[in-house]
């Protein structure tokens, strides 16, 4: 999948929602749907992803969104790096879908 297509896909991902975790799920789900046309795209369920996102500190939750992460890389990277290693590792595993399925 080309970078330009990925950017267009992210930009067109549904209507805005005030919940950054739901917004992040909308983007991820659209990406998984697009990727499934190329091959299997595995990831967390909506419930698991949103729960893992909501377990993050409030200031980090928007970083679960692909578009927010790309637009605010330095801020998100700094926020994630400032989290305790065990919390960060658990969040990454949960958001990536370890043990989950679409």
**Mean pLDDT score, 48-64:** 89
* 6 pLDDT above the threshold of 80: no
* 7 pLDDT above the threshold of 70: no
Rounded Cα distance, 92 and 17, in Å: 23
For 22, residues 6+ apart whose C-beta sits below 8 A from its C-beta are 50
List the chain domain ranges. 19-96
Do the beta carbons of residue 3 and residue 36 sit within 8 Å?
A: no
Residue-level pLDDT at 14: 53
Residue-level pLDDT at 100: 43
Percent of the chain's residues with pLDDT above 70: 76
Residue-level pLDDT at 9: 58
For 97, residues 6+ apart whose C-beta sits below 8 A from its C-beta are 42, 43, 44, 45, 48, 49
pLDDT band at 8 (very low <50, low <70, confident <90, very high): low
pLDDT in tens, 65-92: 989 989 999 999 898 888 888 888 877 7
Report the C-alpha dihedral over residues 78, 83, 87, 89, rounded to 10 degrees.
30
């Amino acid at each position: 999948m080309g970078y330009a297509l990925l950017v267009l896909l992210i930009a067109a991902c549904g209507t805005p929602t005030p919940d950054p975790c739901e917004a992040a799920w909308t983007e991820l789900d659209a990406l998984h749907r697009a990727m499934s046309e190329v091959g299997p795209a595995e990831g967390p369920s909506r419930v698991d992803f949103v729960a893992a996102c909501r377990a993050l500190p409030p200031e980090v939750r928007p970083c679960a969104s692909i578009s927010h992460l790309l637009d605010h890389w330095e801020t998100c990277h700094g926020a994630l790096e400032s989290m305790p290693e065990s919390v960060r590792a658990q969040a990454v595993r949960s958001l990536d879908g370890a043990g989950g399925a679409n």
